[in-house]
Structure 1
């Protein structure tokens, strides 16, 4: 039987806004942090038990009366409970920092009962706070630590804890290029691409945008020679990152197919779109076996600063490291439309193939 997983949570600055005097001793000082209720609901739904652990300097002294604390604290708990967020335990240390008591975070004196309990999983549990002492507390407790700051909010933390995010970072360095790629298959974000080739950047942006995943790719390449190495190595690095992010591919749809005209409209052989002469079709299998088939011919040799012969070469290289079987076909009259439709069609096919589709491995072989 699996052990419990616990999300330990700081209070001031983590659940509620911390005022300048560091004391929530009046109702008008009580304000929840943005996104905290929705994030904690996700954590509860994912099976986390919530435990609040907070330092309240001098609570119960004349400078911080217990009665002044209790009302706002009780209201806060009621607000969370009304939204389905209930704390199984609330642990409060009342000491001052200069006292040096082990019950004060980052000390774990308050946690003796939990440290003696083998019924919960350290590996699956975590701590969320807003200070370095919270992260040190997490390390002392033996769990992951998350610090809220300008770059990490509650939505991001819930995403990491609950969505089992499929992420990867790859750096590919050769004598000709240096490529860095980061992907997150479970998060949508505006693509960030910089390769030194404007039209190629625009095409890579299509993969992230229409593929439905976060993509950050930079390449410093020998573009003074031509674009070949930049395009090829970007494809190889991107395919490697996607494959790493997919892991064992358990739970993915595996197959994807899409047909798009140049204006993103879903297309079949029966759809007619005025002014848009281009049609691209892509069929994808994340089989682990690289294979690429291309059917098409471009009416001119270049679009912007990208040679059209590099388009099928890009997808062939992508398939090599991704371990994908891709069939891609395009017809049309405008080379710009044709190249863009190819990238968008592959992006939509990839989007379908990487989509979560249960927990099973989509193969009778037992491996992909």
Structure 2
């Protein structure tokens, strides 16, 4: 089982997370941000990834620290659970519709962090600035050491747009982390 458990405590946030990449989509999510809980539940279910999160932070200031820091911890958990990445498929792609919105995610778990985030929308879901999700995915990208391209082709409802992104990311990650052999998926011999 590819499992990781991490705790991150700063002056701004306190996060405990456990991930099992070979799980069944079982999750226990506890953050003070209801929409973030919902997105983590979708990520876990649609990726078939077991996920436990207990997080709190200075949400009385705003949501930036907690959203970004959960991305940092999730990225580190993914990286730790993958270990040397031996035998994984490495690449993943998904295109997910959510009513009027369409999101596409392409990723490479090749050790070279890079984020392309083509989400041409600004606005709020309840009181959450959706721009914070770019920071969330940037944190995952850097800490999981993945190349991640997120493209939203169209959409109107911000909830649908962000939900489509999370589902596409979950399914692309599940595909890329699938074990298909025993060798490192690189001609360099290292990732």
Which of 93, 96, 105 is the equivalent residue of 1:260? 96
Distance of 2:61 and 2:139 partners within structure 1:
20
Distance of 2:62 and 2:33 partners within structure 1:
10
Distance of 1:367 and 1:179 partners within structure 2:
31
| Corresponding residue for residue 130 of structure 2 | 308
When normalised by structure 2's length, the TM-score is 0.96
Distance of 2:19 and 2:119 partners within structure 1:
29
Which of 152, 166, 182 is the equivalent residue of 1:343? 166
Distance of 2:190 and 2:27 partners within structure 1:
31
When normalised by structure 1's length, the TM-score is 0.51
2:124 pairs with 1:288: no
Distance of 2:58 and 2:80 partners within structure 1:
27
Distance of 1:301 and 1:278 partners within structure 2:
15
Distance of 1:214 and 1:318 partners within structure 2:
17
Distance of 1:189 and 1:284 partners within structure 2:
20
Distance of 1:305 and 1:202 partners within structure 2:
15
2:168 pairs with 1:353: no
Give the superposition deviation at 1:190. 2.2
SS at the partner of 1:358? coil
Distance of 1:204 and 1:226 partners within structure 2:
19
Distance of 2:77 and 2:106 partners within structure 1:
20
> Structure 1: any 5+ residue segments left out of the alignment?
1-164, 263-275
| Corresponding residue for residue 243 of structure 1 | 79
Larger radius of gyration: 1
Is the 8 Å Cα contact of residues 25 and 47 (structure 2) preserved in structure 1? no
| Corresponding residue for residue 185 of structure 2 | 362
Give the superposition deviation at 1:362. 0.4
**Between Structure 1 and Structure 2, how many residues are aligned?**
190
Give the superposition deviation at 1:261. 0.4
2:144 pairs with 1:322: yes
SS at the partner of 2:32? coil
Runs ≥4 in structure 1, deviation > 6 angstroms? Answer: none
Is the 8 Å Cα contact of residues 198 and 305 (structure 1) preserved in structure 2? no
Give the superposition deviation at 1:209. 1.2
| Corresponding residue for residue 40 of structure 2 | 204
User: What is the root-mean-square deviation of aligned Cα atoms in Å?
Assistant: 1.0
Distance of 2:76 and 2:127 partners within structure 1:
25
Is the 8 Å Cα contact of residues 197 and 305 (structure 1) preserved in structure 2? no
Which of 17, 24, 27 is the equivalent residue of 1:191? 27
More strand by percentage: 2
Q: Which has the higher contact order (CA 8 A, sep 6+)?
A: 2
| Corresponding residue for residue 70 of structure 2 | 234
Distance of 2:126 and 2:29 partners within structure 1:
17
Is the 8 Å Cα contact of residues 261 and 280 (structure 1) preserved in structure 2? yes
| Corresponding residue for residue 157 of structure 2 | 334
Is the 8 Å Cα contact of residues 199 and 305 (structure 1) preserved in structure 2? no
